Amino acid sequence: MKYGSVCSGIEAATAAWHPLGWQASFFSEIEPFQRAVLAHHYPNIPLHGDFTTIKGSEYEPIDLLVGGTPCQSFSIAGLRGGLDDDRGNLALEFLRLADRTRPKWLVWENVPGVLSSNGGRDFGSILGGMVELGYGVAYRVLDAQYFGVAQRRRRVFVVGYLGDWTRAAAVLFERHSLQGHSAPRREARESVAGTLGGSSQSGGFRTTDLDNSGAFIPVQANTLMSFGHSPNPLDETLVAQTVAPSLTSNPYGDHESREGTLVAFGGNRTSGPIDVTPALLAQPGSGVKCDFESETFIKTGLAHQHGGSIGPHTFAVRRLTPRECERLQGFPDDYTLVPNRGKPAADGPRYKALGNSMAVPVMRWIGQRISASERRHAA
């Protein structure tokens, strides 16, 4: 399968699809740091700039065009300019490129806010444009937490197939997803991820982790686990997957920790239920929030307290490290730690690039479904 990728970012698509034996014909990205990541990992793949200037015959023919065009104009957190915004209009430029290159498959990604932008008319225009080009389309909101990573990240995925909507629908929908059994809904809240091995009454820790006063006793936290779909696209069973190794902390000693689970160490027995992290955003540190009355923040990647001692109603929250953010998106460790301007990449650009990326396991699942469809129809 040959594919072209636009708005490539740090290439979640290639990280997902390379193990499938797929080959990229070209990338297209304008951000300097993301281009540095692509040039480092994929030096032999043509790296274009503005994808609106790609001509139909400029690169070798492709079977699939993939892109996650800018989401800011569709996001409910923004001004919601929709397709009238230059960034939102790039979704239509994606369709124009599809018309010039004529691949069999289209894969387009964006935030759920696109569904309601301009009363739904913007999304209707995007789907209608694909249909006018001859593509049968299907779309679905997929959440990365169900694909083996420890973050809630809901995104809209549109799959198009030239001339046949049933091929597109077969990629995005399984039999059990059409039986009317929706996923359970969680209570909306802001919270900090605990370890999944702990109880909800102990803030994510075993009850033996707390002394009678409620203060935290240093122990090794459980390994964070997440449930996701089996890598086999034809196997719909859920499997447990290890996401990050354990984190050990000693708040009464030297405060050293090993990078690992995405937890906050606290001693409040009445802490709410534990959960995985909210979605990674493109601003440093924004992937973890808390709203407790008494807080002790850990400002660096190490477990150093920022004033105060850990007591019965005090929480210590540290920023996720870039490596942990890579794991949350399904990338290999240090994937974004590349040479940049003559020195190792700083944390800021790495956070931003990861926050803007697609989740690798979701893209791999889509690729596996497309490959299965190709095999079935080739038989």
Asked if 71 is an active-site residue, the reply is: yes
The pLDDT > 70 percentage for the chain reads 59
What is the per-residue pLDDT for 120? 85
Tokens of 284: 């440093």
Q: Which residue has the tokens 């994606």?
A: 94
What pLDDT does 90 receive? 85
Query: Closest Cα partner for 2 from 97, 66, 98, 90?
Result: 66
Asked if 352 and 283 count as a contact pair (C-beta separation under 8 A), the reply is: yes
| Nearest residue to 341 via CA among 349, 352, 331 | 349
Rounded Cα gap, residues 87 and 112, in angstroms: 16
* Regions of the chain where pLDDT drops below 70: 72-88, 176-277, 283-316
Predicted confidence (pLDDT) per residue in 271-320, tens digit: 444 455 677 777 644 444 333 232 333 333 333 334 445 455 555 677 89
Whether 137 and 165 have beta carbons less than 8 Å apart is answered as yes
Per-residue confidence (pLDDT) for residue 182, from 0 to 100: 63
pTM of the model as a whole: 0.69
CATH 3.40.50.150 range(s) for the chain read 2-181+359-378
Where does the chain have alpha helices with state H?
12-17, 32-41, 90-101, 121-132, 165-172, 322-329, 347-355, 360-378
Closest CA to 16 of 369, 365, 373: 365
Q: Give the model's pLDDT for residue 56.
A: 83
Burial class (CB in 10 A: 0-12, 13-18, 19+), 311: middle
The catalytic position among 7, 71, 290, 325 is 71
Question: What are the tens digits of pLDDT across the range 119-167?
Answer: 888 889 899 999 999 999 999 999 999 999 999 999 999 999 999 999 9
Q: What is the pLDDT of residue 247?
A: 34
* Antiparallel, parallel or unpaired: β 224-229 and 238-244: antiparallel
Answer whether 76's CB lies under 8 Å from 379's CB: no
Q: Class assignment of domain 2-181+359-378?
A: alpha beta
